[in-house]
């Protein structure tokens, strides 16, 4: 057999250039085909079942229970019950025992010395929240919305929550057979907070909501977190800084995880401990931004302070008769339900 006459082809510089260009083009096309969608996605309401939307606008906003955290009847609970009646919400105020001084002192000392520890008022509030989480676990609730007793919301809360239901289900890729109005692929759904930075570097769902106040009217921490937000829009995203616990929902799984994570103290306040869990991904946290719940504040000239501040010995709570019949204000809520129910007015803080 004659020897082979095959000679390997030598590639010119031009041939190599064409090869590398083709390889790069193939890589780009492959990435574009398989890569996830844009970071900011606009909600497609047509992909959501109207049954979920309807359930989210029922008397418990689609949760199994709405539970109010409160130690005693006061102007806070009277205003909240008036607001609930005005918007047709069914709320429950479980009786809670006042923690003893010994329990508060012991809780404050939990954890190593080099971690932050709560002051007395923060520890009192923390223990009250843990009692509520224990109650949810004991009752084996599928989902529950926890409200602090001075919380306020917009008179359009039911339509707001219907939109939020759509966004949360799409954001968490809820299964079609998951009948929860918000799905169940989360531990905490933060609805009321002091302000949340809008993440520009991660996935988020944007949707229109005509009840959103103009961004220029936001006050407090929320006024600092407008990057990436647009007037008339809300977003649903992973929570990174959900400070304040005015109103948040938990799933059955979330309540169990919160007890393990927050039950050992080791931070300055309950909401900060939860925020830490969200940041470290110990808890699966979803947040609505801007918030749909905030706390109502009586007129400041009457000397009102929070329960936490009073617990820290900063002052004593003013007599309720001094301010309960005088309208206060609620930050970042366009049409306060408390002010509508009690004073037939709006009272957004400017």
How do the pLDDT tens digits run along the chain, 350 residues long? Answer: 454 444 445 545 555 555 455 555 444 444 333 334 445 566 655 555 678 899 999 999 999 999 999 989 999 999 999 999 999 999 999 999 899 999 999 999 998 888 889 889 899 999 999 999 999 999 999 999 999 999 999 999 999 999 999 999 999 999 989 999 999 999 999 999 998 887 666 788 999 999 999 989 988 877 777 777 889 999 999 998 888 999 999 999 999 999 999 999 988 899 999 999 999 999 999 999 999 999 999 987 776 666 654 545 454 566 677 778 899 999 999 999 999 999 999 999 87
Predicted pLDDT at 48: 57
In a domain, 228, yes or no: yes
Predicted pLDDT at 261: 96
In a domain, 62, yes or no: yes
In a domain, 138, yes or no: yes
The packing angle between helices 120-139 and 101-108, to 10°, is 100
Predicted pLDDT at 8: 46
In a domain, 348, yes or no: no
> What's 258-326 look like in SS3?
HHHHHCCCCCCCHHHHHHHHHHCCCCCEEEEECCCEEEEECCHHHCCCCHHHHHCCCCCCCCHHHCCCC
Predicted pLDDT at 32: 33
Q: Which range marks the domain in which residue 103 is found?
A: 40-297
Max intra-chain CA distance, the chain: 114
CATH number of the CATH domain containing 287: 3.90.550
Number of folded domains that form the chain: 1
In a domain, 308, yes or no: no
Predicted pLDDT at 253: 97
Predicted pLDDT at 185: 96
In a domain, 336, yes or no: no
* 3-class state of residue 334 by DSSP: coil
Is residue 114 classed exposed, middle or buried when 0-12, 13-18 and 19+ CB atoms within 10 A define those classes? exposed
What lies within 8 Å, CB to CB, of 159 at 6+ separation is: 57, 211
In a domain, 323, yes or no: no
In a domain, 68, yes or no: yes
């Amino acid at each position: 057999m004659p020897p082979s006459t095959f000679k390997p082809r030598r590639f010119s510089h031009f041939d190599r250039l064409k090869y590398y260009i083709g390889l790069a083009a193939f890589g780009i096309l492959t990435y574009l085909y398989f890569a996830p969608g844009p970071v900011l996605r606009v909600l497609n309401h047509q992909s959501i079942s109207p049954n979920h939307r309807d359930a989210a606008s029922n008397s418990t906003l689609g949760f199994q229970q709405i539970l109010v955290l409160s130690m005693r009847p006061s102007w806070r609970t009277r205003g909240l019950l008036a607001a609930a009646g005005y918007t047709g919400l069914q709320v429950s105020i479980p009786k809670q025992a006042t923690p003893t001084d010994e329990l508060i002192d012991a809780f404050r000392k939990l954890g190593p010395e080099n971690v932050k520890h709560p002051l007395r008022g923060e520890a009192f509030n923390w223990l009250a929240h843990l009692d509520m989480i224990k109650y949810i676990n004991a009752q084996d609730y599928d989902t529950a919305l926890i409200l602090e007793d001075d919380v306020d919301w917009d008179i359009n809360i039911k339509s707001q929550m219907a939109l939020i239901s759509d966004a949360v289900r799409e954001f968490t890729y809820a299964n079609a057979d998951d009948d929860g109005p918000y799905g169940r692929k989360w531990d905490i759904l933060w609805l009321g907070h002091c302000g949340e930075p809008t993440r520009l570097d991660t996935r988020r769902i944007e949707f229109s909501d005509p009840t959103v106040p103009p961004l220029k009217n936001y006050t407090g921490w929320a006024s600092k977190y407008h990057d990436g937000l647009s007037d008339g829009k809300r977003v649903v995203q992973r929570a990174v800084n959900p400070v304040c616990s005015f109103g948040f929902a938990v799933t059955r799984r979330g309540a169990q995880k919160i007890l393990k994570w927050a039950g050992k103290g080791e931070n300055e306040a309950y909401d900060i401990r939860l925020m830490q869990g969200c940041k470290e991904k110990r808890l699966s946290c979803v947040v609505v931004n801007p918030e749909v719940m905030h706390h109502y504040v009586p007129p400041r000239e009457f000397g009102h302070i929070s329960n936490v501040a009073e617990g820290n010995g900063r002052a004593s709570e003013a007599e309720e008769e001094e301010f309960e019949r005088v309208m206060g204000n609620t930050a970042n809520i366009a049409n306060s339900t408390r002010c509508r129910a009690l004073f037939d007015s709006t009272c957004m803080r400017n």
